[in-house]
Amino acid sequence: MVDQAAGQRNAQPSTSARNAVVIGGNRIPFARSGGAYAYSSNQDMLTAAFDGLVARFGLQGERIGEVAAGAVLKHSRDFNLTREAVLGSALAADTPAYDVQQACATGLETVIGLANKIKLGQIESAIAGGVDSASDAPIAVSEGLRRILLDLSRAKTTPQKLSVLSRLRPKDLAPNAPTTGEPRTGLSMGEHQAITTSQWKITREAQDELAFNSHHNLAGAYERGFFSDLVTPYRGVTKDANLRADTSLEKLAKLKPVFGKSLGDGATMTAGNSTPLTDGAAAVLLGSEDYARRNTLPMLANVVDAEAAAVDFVHGAEGLLMAPVYAMPRMLARNGLTFDDFDFFEIHEAFAGTVLSSLAAWENEDFCRNKLGLDGALGTVDRSKLNVNGSSLAAGHPFAATGGRIVAALAKALAEKGSGRGLISVCAAGGQGVVAILEAREQ
Amino acid sequence: MSEVVLDSVPSLPSLYRSALIGSVPLPRMGRRTKGAGTADLPAVRHSVSGIKASVGELTRFQQLIGAPVHDLLPSGFVHTIAFPVAMSVMARKDFPLPLLGMIHLRNSVEHRRAIHFSEILDVSAWAENLRQHHAGTQVDLVTEVTAQGEVAWIGRSTYLAKGARITGTPTESKEGREPFVAPPLTAIWDLPGSAGRSYAAVSGDYNPIHLNALTAKALGMRRTIAHGMYLASRMVQEGTPAGVESFAWTIDFRSPVLLPARVSIAIEPHDEAGVWHSSIITGWNARKGREHFTGSVTRLPVRPFR
């Protein structure tokens, strides 16, 4: 843990590979769990996101190089979720697809993996994406009943079967619903973040302000039509249902803490500065420059580089959602860049406390020396460049769909500006995190 | 010290049954202490050789404590295999303290090397260190597990017989315990009301205080309580980094975990020269601010492979 950077320091960005470009994106508006998409499955929503992308870029009947997507809360029957969504979409039936699962980093990881295939010349075009439904969540039979049913299927004779069935107890009939708890700690993600938030002494006011800015920025982006070519209405929803354009710091200040209540006065995380459970899907179209030119498609940004990291939160060495903090300096060093070289920062707002703890860590000299193995503080993120078109606190966070939402919106922002670079940081369950760099196309 | 060689590992339920019959009304204890003034531990070790773990029992144990289902024995599982031999020492007619109602105070174990489930184990156990405690009398049960001619695991379990008085042994004064300050939380264990029955099923430890409220009440507990060895097994599992196969651990039980329970857990690792050296693990009840246990796991030097 002393010097995580050391093992990776020799990695160099490839100079010989060709560019992979973001052509565009499409998502359905995100809805709160139990809302408008309560009866839509992951497959339904992912297919809707794909079909919107197909319509936007004229991909009907086209064979795409490869499609990758995933979901975090996934039914076991959905083992081939992405391929099934492709088959249900207007894409050509001979488009191959695979599933990815890296918790909340799923969507970003699909972009990175597919962009790398494009850079290597293995494919010309790709669709990356993700979907999640907290409403249509899988519910499993209890561990006891599951074992009994499996043993029953292996029993050959009637006496054997009866003996297996005799193990059945009333409590075995209670189902298992998924939780947001970490399997190894039993703590929910919010409880984990509450510990980190308190360790970094992040105030309630700072968290509420970040949440306020998220709603304000997302509302502003909708108002000026920023999402008109990124979002396709679904089930009557035209805007992210969680967006509260009229929220105020006073309203946010009134909410009671929901996480870290055992911290007493240190409890600062509310439903306002934490993301709600959300349903939604997002997709991103990627391609080689050649593919985009041949099909007269736009090129919004290049996918430059990415880095993943993980931390040991199980044994208390680091906070659950702090892994991107470790990934960031490794990726910046490899590319010879600092925070000053970026025009946009997309730091996923799992909780306001996550964003603010990350910023505080990068600004802290001791932490950067001792934990990141740097010579001093990594640097300060210019707040006026942070999540300028809103982020998860306002839009909501359908886990695997968030990466696609961010990549498409950042690529568009870079294309609008016509120059510069954007930085993405996404934390994920299991103590993981992924960061990435996009850059504007030269005009 | 003489040696009594047993044919096989005694079954705990039958030990408890005979203890129940023998201990109503409570102790042999009273007679001994009042009369003789001095009580001695039997100078005997009980031994069983040729023990082999059952893969099915190992799997169920591993699954219950959240350990990976691999081929090496969890430290707590070695205890469940071996400890009935120590119990048989406590169940002897000449053992000066009552078996039932004894309070489990502490464990300290050296898990000197990884033990594969297929290894043939020899177990030897004895009692030592009978001494006074401010609330009664305590004793250590030592259990030694030998594999391929060397001691692979050695455990010391400390028990308290509440209210039992022995003269002639040094008195341990009541230490002023510092008020409990909760360390930074790293996990929560949600233990259902059935946690005692579940652990009894994988360990064979059907002590009535773990099974249901009535039997627990009969033995002076308000509700059923979690097995100390269940807490210890999970503590060792979660507090030891994967791949560390040679380690020592201790656990001190401060207050019983009444079931069902929500136990707050803190794992505080300590590195030396960038490598894991040890962890302190604490379990407590956050609502009542009461500590349940505190323990440690420490890396042991790796023994040369023979």
Per CB-CB distance under 8 Å, the chain A contacts of B297 are: none
CA distance B267 to chain A (A): 5
Task: Indicate if A104 belongs to the active site.
Answer: yes
The pLDDT of residue B33 is 39
Q: Retrieve residue A346's tokens.
A: 């997309």
Q: Does B236 touch chain A (CB under 8 A)?
A: no
Mean pLDDT, all residues of chain A: 93
- Give the residue from B200, B165, B192, B202 showing the smallest Cα distance to B77: B202
Residues 6 or more apart whose CB falls under 8 angstroms from that of A344 comprise A385, A388, A410, A413, A414, A420, A421, A422, A423
Judge whether residue A114 has pLDDT over 80. Answer: yes
At B225, the amino acid letter reads I
| Cβ contact A353:A197 at 8 Å | yes
Judge whether residue B98 has pLDDT over 90. Answer: no
| Cβ contact B74:B237 at 8 Å | yes
pLDDT band at B25 (very low <50, low <70, confident <90, very high): very low
Q: Which residue has the higher pLDDT, B206 or B105?
A: B105
| Cβ contact B284:B294 at 8 Å | no
CA distance A277 to chain B (A): 22
Which one of the listed residues A192, A348, A368, A427 is annotated catalytic?
Answer: A427
| Cβ contact A387:A345 at 8 Å | yes
Q: What is the mean pLDDT of residues A424-438?
A: 97
pLDDT band at B17 (very low <50, low <70, confident <90, very high): confident
Q: Does B55 touch chain A (CB under 8 A)?
A: no
| Cβ contact A95:A360 at 8 Å | no
The reply to whether domains A17-138+278-294 and A189-226+243-275+303-440 share a CATH topology is yes
| Residue among B185, B239, B274 minimizing CB distance to A195 | B185
Judge whether residue A3 has pLDDT over 60. Answer: no
The pLDDT of residue B22 is 57
Q: Of A159-163, A166-170, B13-17, which one has max mean pLDDT?
A: A159-163
A→B contacts (Cβ < 8 Å), by residue, are 1-3, 171, 184-187, 191, 195, 199, 262, 312-317
Q: State the Cα–Cα distance between residues B260 and A410, nearest whole angstrom.
A: 49
Judge whether residue B169 has pLDDT over 60. Answer: no
Judge whether residue A177 has pLDDT over 80. Answer: no
Q: What is the mean pLDDT of residues A26-53?
A: 95
Residues 6 or more apart whose CB falls under 8 angstroms from that of B230 comprise B64, B65, B76, B195, B196, B199, B203
The pLDDT of residue B20 is 65
* pLDDT tens digits for range A244-253: 999 999 999 9
Q: What is the mean pLDDT of residues A45-63?
A: 97
Per CB-CB distance under 8 Å, the chain B contacts of A315 are: 186, 238-239, 241, 267, 269, 279
CATH placement of domain A17-138+278-294: 3.40.47.10
Judge whether residue A367 has pLDDT over 50. Answer: yes
**Architecture (CATH level 2) of domain B2-299:** Roll (3.10)
If DSSP codes are grouped into helix, strand and coil, which group holds residue A288? strand
Angle between helices A42-57 and A81-88 (to 10 degrees): 50
| Bond before A257 cis per omega within 30 degrees | no
| Cβ contact A440:A413 at 8 Å | no
* pLDDT tens digits for range A302-345: 999 999 999 999 888 899 999 999 999 999 999 999 999 999 99
Judge whether residue A365 has pLDDT over 90. Answer: yes
Query: Which residue bears the tokens 């090397």?
Result: B113
The pLDDT of residue A379 is 97
The pLDDT of residue A2 is 44
Judge whether residue B37 has pLDDT over 60. Answer: no
Q: What is the mean pLDDT of residues B159-173?
A: 71
Q: Which residue has the higher pLDDT, A153 or A274?
A: A274
At B222, the amino acid letter reads R
Task: Indicate if A215 belongs to the active site.
Answer: no
At A57, the amino acid letter reads F
Q: What is the mean pLDDT of residues A21-50?
A: 96
Range of lowest pLDDT (A98-112, A216-230, A238-252, A259-273)? A259-273
Per CB-CB distance under 8 Å, the chain A contacts of B239 are: 315
Interchain CB distance below 8 Å, A184 and B190: no
Domain ranges of chain A: 17-138+278-294, 143-173, 189-226+243-275+303-440
| Residue among A1, A171, A185 minimizing CB distance to B187 | A185
Torsions phi, psi of B77, nearest 5? -70, -35
pTM of the model: 0.85
Exposed/middle/buried for B241, CB within 10 Å: 0-12, 13-18, 19+?
middle
Judge whether residue B19 has pLDDT over 90. Answer: no
Q: What is the CATH class of A189-226+243-275+303-440?
A: alpha beta
The pLDDT of residue A266 is 82
The pLDDT of residue B176 is 66
Q: Of A171-180, A388-397, B170-179, which one has max mean pLDDT?
A: A388-397
| Residue among B188, B268, B286 minimizing CB distance to A187 | B188
Counting Cα atoms < 13 Å in the Cβ hemisphere of A234 gives 30
At B217, the amino acid letter reads K
* pLDDT tens digits for range B132-158: 888 899 999 999 999 999 999 999 999
The pLDDT of residue A317 is 83
- Give the residue from A150, A151, A144, A148 showing the smallest Cα distance to A174: A144
The pLDDT of residue A380 is 98
Is residue A90 within a helix (H) or strand (E), and if so which, with residue range?
A: none
Mutation target among B62, B186, B280 for the A interface, most CBs of A within 10 A: B186
pLDDT band at B171 (very low <50, low <70, confident <90, very high): low
Q: Which residue has the higher pLDDT, B38 or A266?
A: A266
pLDDT band at B219 (very low <50, low <70, confident <90, very high): confident
Q: What is the mean pLDDT of residues A13-26?
A: 87
The pLDDT of residue B121 is 97
% of chain A beyond a pLDDT of 70: 96
CA distance A175 to chain B (A): 15
CA distance A183 to chain B (A): 10
Q: What is the mean pLDDT of residues A252-268?
A: 90
If DSSP codes are grouped into helix, strand and coil, which group holds residue A62? coil
* pLDDT tens digits for range A86-99: 999 999 999 999 99
Q: State the Cα–Cα distance between residues A227 and A236, nearest whole angstrom.
A: 16
Report the residue of chain B nearest A182, measured CA to CA: B187
If DSSP codes are grouped into helix, strand and coil, which group holds residue A99? strand
Residues 6 or more apart whose CB falls under 8 angstroms from that of A158 comprise none
Residues 6 or more apart whose CB falls under 8 angstroms from that of B152 comprise B111, B112, B113, B115, B121, B145, B146
The pLDDT of residue A333 is 98
